[in-house]
Amino acid sequence: MTSLNNVKKRKTTYYPVLIIGAGATGIAAGSQLRQKLGLKEFKIVDRQSGIGEFREYLNEISEKYQLASHIQLNTDVKELRWIEADAQWEVTLQHLVPGTGDLSTRDREDRATASGRESVYLHEEVVRAKAVISCVGILVEPNPWPSSIQGRNTFKGDVFHSARWRDDIDLNGKDVVVLGTGCSAAQIVPSLLKEPYKVKSLTQIGRSAPWVMPRLSEPFGRENYAIYAPTVYKWLPFLGFINRVLIYLLVEVIWSTVFQMKHKKWRAAIETQQLAMMKEIVPEKYHDIMTPDYPYGCKRRVFDTEWLPSMQNSKFMLTNRPIQAVDGKELILGADGKATSGQQRINADIIILANGFEATRWLHPLSVYGREGAALQEVWKQRGGPAAYMGMAVDGFPNFFIAVGPNTANGHHSLILTSENTVSYILKMIKPILSGKVDRVEVKKQAVTAWTEDVKKDLEKTVFVGCRSWYMDEQGYNSTMYP
């Protein structure tokens, strides 16, 4: 292993295009570079030990477009620095001990501190690229266990985040606590209450209730859909297309009505319907806890058909009492939001954090330095928050493009659709660079400013302003949603 302080000088490798991230968007960028531009010289780097979430499908795409030789895993991008004289990006890569890139940045640094940097980092490499496409995801860096909890570092059990699942921890016969009531928690809880798990008890702790919807893509029941849909769509693919079109049209109707602040009657109708459904399924003792105190759609909705019925399980308990302190393997819960008096103690062998991600820290922990050494994070800080023209380009940072950047997500549609369209647009910007017609492409500051102001103004018309959510930072700046 080579110390970072004693890295040997190597010949600088050059790539016409460097893609950061081998998730769905990175694979889309790579496949379109080959398919649309016929480019054979590019590199996709990813800090993790494997490619993104939908692995079987993405592996098929990678094989179809011959991307395997372009993908470099266990490689973290530490820094991007624009070299004005050469009109290129200088990229500092950190080669990681295989598997350590699957950890969060915080956990990697903790390991490096405890066991030495050589336990995480092998060596650094500096490469050059004419253009860089950031395909860094939004939900990447998990939120930590809340720092307000007294004695949290003295907990005697195991703690892990849902996005960093620990298969090596035996849950059988254990008192398990799930922290959170969002989409991840709604998937985890019913699964843990079924085979092959045999938990002793499962306590779910949440701050606020989500709006829960049945799944849209299971028209004939979940079991039947899972059994027959793959075969039907294989032989009659147009039915799959029709199903997707119908879902598309349905959610567009919901967006243009329920998600707009002015349509209170539409929103009230769907809220009444969903509350009635919840109360039919969930035990009465949880009705108050499971009643949202904010408008429908303001926070991310939960689409699920198993979570609510699982609350009838005798091993399950739901509470909105906050964790105040830790005492060995006991959690001390305080009063809930309705001034319930006294404290409550519950046993916890294992805590699973389903408390979300650092979604508003765009590109974190990547450092990007543009013209005259300007730091992108500092530019965003001075401007009040992350913003980019069409979510993909910032003035002062030539030939640097962000796929799925600030204000590109929405509350009703697939992000895959957004990322594919964004990548297609970025390729139009890259094409003249690769052909040598231009040396650099850079958006104008006034274009970024005008775009950002339009987004802010239009967000005020949507339901997203009706509550505090993970879409916003601590100052209430919404850099996530596209209105």
Give the CATH H-level superfamily of domain 160-215+273-353: FAD/NAD(P)-binding domain (3.50.50.60)
| C-alpha distances in Å from residue 402, one per residue of 101, 102, 426, 427 | 21, 22, 9, 12
Give the CATH H-level superfamily of domain 4-141+360-466: FAD/NAD(P)-binding domain (3.50.50.60)
Residue 5: pLDDT over 50: no
Residue 428 burial (CB count, 10 A):
11
Residue 338: pLDDT over 80: no
- Output the pLDDT for position 401: 98
For the record, the structure tokens of 194 come out as 């079924």
Residue 340: pLDDT over 70: no
Domain ranges of the chain: 4-141+360-466, 160-215+273-353
- Output the pLDDT for position 10: 55
For residue range 398-452, list pLDDT tens digits in order.
999 999 899 999 878 888 889 999 999 999 999 999 999 999 999 999 999 999 9
Handedness of CA 348, 351, 356, 360 (dihedral sign): positive
CA distance 328 to 325: 10
**Residue carrying the six token digits 């001075």:** 382
Q: Do domains 4-141+360-466 and 160-215+273-353 have the same CATH topology?
A: yes
Contact 103, 76 (CB under 8 A): no
Residue 359 burial (CB count, 10 A):
20
pTM of the full predicted structure? 0.90
DSSP strand pairing (212-213 vs 302-303): parallel
Q: How confident is the model over 144-153, as a mean pLDDT?
A: 89
Q: How confident is the model over 120-136, as a mean pLDDT?
A: 97
Contact 122, 114 (CB under 8 A): no
DSSP strand pairing (13-20 vs 121-134): parallel
